Chains A and B, each alone.
Chain A
Amino acid sequence: MNFDFADEAPKLAMLLYGVVAFVAVVGGLLLLLDAVPARLARRREARLAAAVAAGKVIEPGRRRPRDGLFALFFLLPTVLMLGIGLVVPAIRTLVLSFKNGDSTEWVGLRNYGWMFDRPEIVDILVNTALWVLLVPLLATCIGLIYAVLIDRARLEALAKSLIFLPMAISFVGAGIIWKFVYAFRPAEADQIGLLNQVWVWLGGEPQQWLTNSPLNTLLLIVVMIWIQAGFAMVVLSAAIKAIPTDMIEAARIDGVNAWQLFWRITVPGIRPALIVVVVTISIATLKLFDIVRTMTNGNFNTNVIATEMYNQAFRYGQTGQGSALAVVLFVLVIPIVIYQVRNLRRQREV
């Protein structure tokens, strides 16, 4: 591989522009977010100080009538963007799901019938169920155990960042990395995949991990857990730190052991955070697309709803069938969202 920098100059220049523009825009935004509120705060302080100095009484309720307007001002862009980016497309998808492949004719419920008519639909549903059951559960458990173990340990920050790092990698990047881990070479050749090399050291025959169903789905699930455990760990660790120390001390005085402390104090104490983590990971898992597409593209019985939706709508030109899959996915997410909203509301009432 020889790489001539002079040949690639236009591309490198483009890269440079990109980086510079990114730094300028993001830097500018950060600066704005940093400087403007600080300046406003300073002005308000100055005004208050002047008022106090002048001996005026500051009425806290004076701004009430304008609060509604103020809220609207902040709400409007959000509502507008949600409308354009979420509500309108959702309605359009629903409409398209009742039309044919190129959206020229109404076909009623045919696309939904098609979906449950296909032999591979069982695979898709079973796989999606496996993902939604295993990923939130295992990622949260691993994150929780890790958070408890490293809590107030030496080098806690380092230990945390190690497990949090995978979060910074895109799903596609993670998929490619793990594809190498699962890579296969025949027994007579040198193994380049980590898993197969370990397997061979243990005395096994090299395996084609990604083609052996249903093991391959579990191996893909490992990738998602690898990414999400860091997220769970960070949130849960913060929640654990928020448990009042006097509660823990009181429990200690009552003579609990570590096991009881974990189940009676820590877990109830971080329940809201636990729910948030499980719900967030569940939704992310239902929408899962990139890992499957990068690693197997749904072959070898690893297909999930979102991959199939993309293929139908964008690659095969079957917009109706793709939309129907999207609607089903949407329906599956709704209960989780409702649960989360109710949960938040209950917490606020307490």
Chain B
Amino acid sequence: MAVFARPRQALVIAGALGLAISATACGTGDNDGSGKADSPECAAYQKYQGHGGAEVSIYASIRDAEADLLEQSWEQFAECTGIEIDYEGSGEFEAQLQVRVDGGNAPDIAFVPQPGLLSRFAQAGKLKPASAETKAMAEENYAADWLKYSTVAGQFYGAPLGSNVKSFVWYSPKMFQEQGWTVPTTWDDLIKLSDSAAAGGIKPWCVGIESGDATGWPATDWIEDVLLRTQTPEVYDQWTTHGMPFNDQRVVDAVDRAGTILRNEKYVNGGYGGVKSIATTSFQEGGLPILQGECALHRQASFYANQWPADSRVAEDGDVFAFYFPAIDPSKGKPVLGGGEFTVAFDDRPEVQAVQTYLASGEYANSRAKLGNWVSANRKLDVANVANPIDKLSVEILQDESTVFRFDGSDLMPAAVGAGTFWKEMVSWISGKDTKAALDAIESSWPR
């Protein structure tokens, strides 16, 4: 069985290829940037210097274009301090992080978007508490509410990084103008608007909750947003920490109220079919029929701005824009649901702490924001550096002292619920399962 008719020829080919690899491998020179450290543009980074040549690995779920922006955002820092940052993004972040930590191959820093997952690692003793510098920096730049999410058993593990605001309803200003609609500011107005759209032959809402592995999460956001509007923030906190049962009557009512939109054949699912099509419509495509005039409203987070085609203008008078998902009882204030990731460390080498501190700083928040498509709750973030109008709106909401902010509930819950049964049961619920039965199933899966 001769694979190569002439073995010697094959040998030559293999040898040449091998040489080619080693030659190109030598091509990538290393630079520790030490020559630049004293230049004026590096003055801001002086307090992080002294770790030249050290390497810090960062692992997160951010990939593709956004990952490129992320790497650009700390380029200057890396050049001035000589710390080489080795970034890796993975679509399987949540599962793989556990595997890597168990395998003794933990990254130095991870951006964890779920406080629930963060506390799991903290309780297992895998995370290193943040250094005093990081803690001071975080306390200076972030509201206490935010720091609470990365504090486990009194120990602070890391500052927030990017954030997003989820309580938005996307719409087409053009369509609103043509139809003579105005942006609703109360829940009742929202329902009236939906009814008049439905009467006019337009399915008012489009919804998509398919998201591969994570199918169902957009539906959990709906429930959380509605619960925050029908109950007090304290009830919401009890619910996320299992201080009350998941299937409490107040939650059942909130889910049923969300159901008056989500499970209403007259309201959904513009451009995609009936209610059941919600479960198989990807969240990325969820709101796109707005551009075709096939639906009017799409409740989705600030980051949905990235999903619109490049040639559509996101602005108050453009093709698409978003308004605040109205409160049910405006006298109780404006609750805002949001999310974000936290910079936590699995190692406490000084260079790791330096990077962790820097990422919590105002300089970093501004340098990342200037690159576009980014929101942070960092108080030092200058709104002028945020380009996208929705991001601007988000930053203003986050920095507003009167905002009642609550973190995405499913991210706070243990993964078995927050990334498991809650998602799954919401998919079943959309497909027709009884509300109480779905919530009972989630309650029974809460880890003991």
Residues of A within 8 A of B277 (CB): 184, 186, 208
Q: What per-residue 1/0 map shows which CB atoms of B250-292 lie under 8 Å from chain A? A: 0000000000000000000001111011011000000000000
Rounded to whole angstroms, the CA-CA distance of A212 and B438 in the bound complex is 18
Interface residue? B37 (CB, 8 A): no
Q: Are B2 and A27 in contact (CB under 8 A)?
A: no
Interface residue? B414 (CB, 8 A): yes
Residues of B within 8 A of A312 (CB): 416
Q: What per-residue 1/0 map shows which CB atoms of B1-41 lie under 8 Å from chain A? A: 11110010011011001101100100000000000000000
Q: Are B213 and A27 in contact (CB under 8 A)?
A: no
Residues of B within 8 A of A316 (CB): 414-416, 419-420
Q: What per-residue 1/0 map shows which CB atoms of A201-220 lie under 8 Å from chain B? A: 00000101011000000000
Closest to A300 in B: B431
Q: What per-residue 1/0 map shows which CB atoms of B398-425 lie under 8 Å from chain A? A: 0000000000000000111001100010
Identify which of A17-25, A55-63, A273-281 touches chain B.
A17-25
Q: What per-residue 1/0 map shows which CB atoms of B173-217 lie under 8 Å from chain A? A: 000000000000000000000000000000000000000110110
Rounded to whole angstroms, the CA-CA distance of A118 and B274 in the bound complex is 30
Q: Are A298 and B424 in contact (CB under 8 A)?
A: yes
Rounded to whole angstroms, the CA-CA distance of A23 and B427 in the bound complex is 45
Rounded to whole angstroms, the CA-CA distance of A31 and B414 in the bound complex is 52
Q: How many residues of A contact B (CB 8 A)?
A: 42
Residues of A within 8 A of B279 (CB): 211, 299-300
Rounded to whole angstroms, the CA-CA distance of A120 and B415 in the bound complex is 18
Closest to B440 in A: A119
Closest to B424 in A: A299
Contacts across chains A and B counted by CB atoms under 8 Å: 107
Interface residue? B94 (CB, 8 A): yes
Q: What per-residue 1/0 map shows which CB atoms of A143-173 lie under 8 Å from chain B? A: 0000000000000000000000000000000
Closest to B17 in A: A24
Given A28, A118, A185, A315, which contacts B95 in the complex, CB threshold below 8 Å? A315
Q: Are A27 and B10 in contact (CB under 8 A)?
A: yes
Residues of B within 8 A of A118 (CB): 444-445
Residues of B within 8 A of A187 (CB): 273
Rounded to whole angstroms, the CA-CA distance of A293 and B92 in the bound complex is 13
Residues of A within 8 A of B2 (CB): 34, 38
Given A38, A293, A299, A315, which contacts B419 in the complex, CB threshold below 8 Å? A315
Q: Are A27 and B13 in contact (CB under 8 A)?
A: yes
Given A24-B21, A293-B213, A318-B416, A34:B4 Cβ within 8 A: yes
By size class, the interface of chain B is: 35 or more
Closest to B447 in A: A101
Q: Are A30 and B3 in contact (CB under 8 A)?
A: yes
Q: Are B414 and A184 in contact (CB under 8 A)?
A: no
Residues of A within 8 A of B4 (CB): 30-31, 34
Rounded to whole Å, the gap between the CB of A120 and the closest CB of chain B is: 8
Given A34-B7, A211-B279, A102:B124 Cβ within 8 A: yes
Q: Are B273 and A184 in contact (CB under 8 A)?
A: yes
Interface residue? A35 (CB, 8 A): yes
Q: Are B431 and A211 in contact (CB under 8 A)?
A: yes
Residues of B within 8 A of A189 (CB): 271
Residues of A within 8 A of B431 (CB): 211, 300
Rounded to whole angstroms, the CA-CA distance of A28 and B4 in the bound complex is 11
Closest to A107 in B: B448
Q: For chain B residues 62-106, which have a beta carbon within 8 Å of chain A?
A: 94-95, 98-99
Q: What per-residue 1/0 map shows which CB atoms of A22-51 lie under 8 Å from chain B? A: 011001101101110010000000000000
Rounded to whole Å, the gap between the CB of A264 and the closest CB of chain B is: 36
Rounded to whole Å, the gap between the CB of B202 and the closest CB of chain A is: 13
Q: Are A317 and B17 in contact (CB under 8 A)?
A: no
Rounded to whole Å, the gap between the CB of B419 and the closest CB of chain A is: 6
Q: Are B415 and A315 in contact (CB under 8 A)?
A: yes
Known: A30-B4, A101-B447. 6 other contacts (CB 8 A): A24-B14, A24-B17, A28-B14, A33-B3, A38-B2, A315-B213
Binding site for A on B (CB under 8 A): 1-4, 7, 10-11, 13-14, 17-18, 20-21, 24, 94-95, 98-99, 117, 120, 123-124, 212-213, 215-216, 271-274, 276-277, 279-280, 414-416, 419-420, 424, 427-428, 431, 441, 444-445, 447
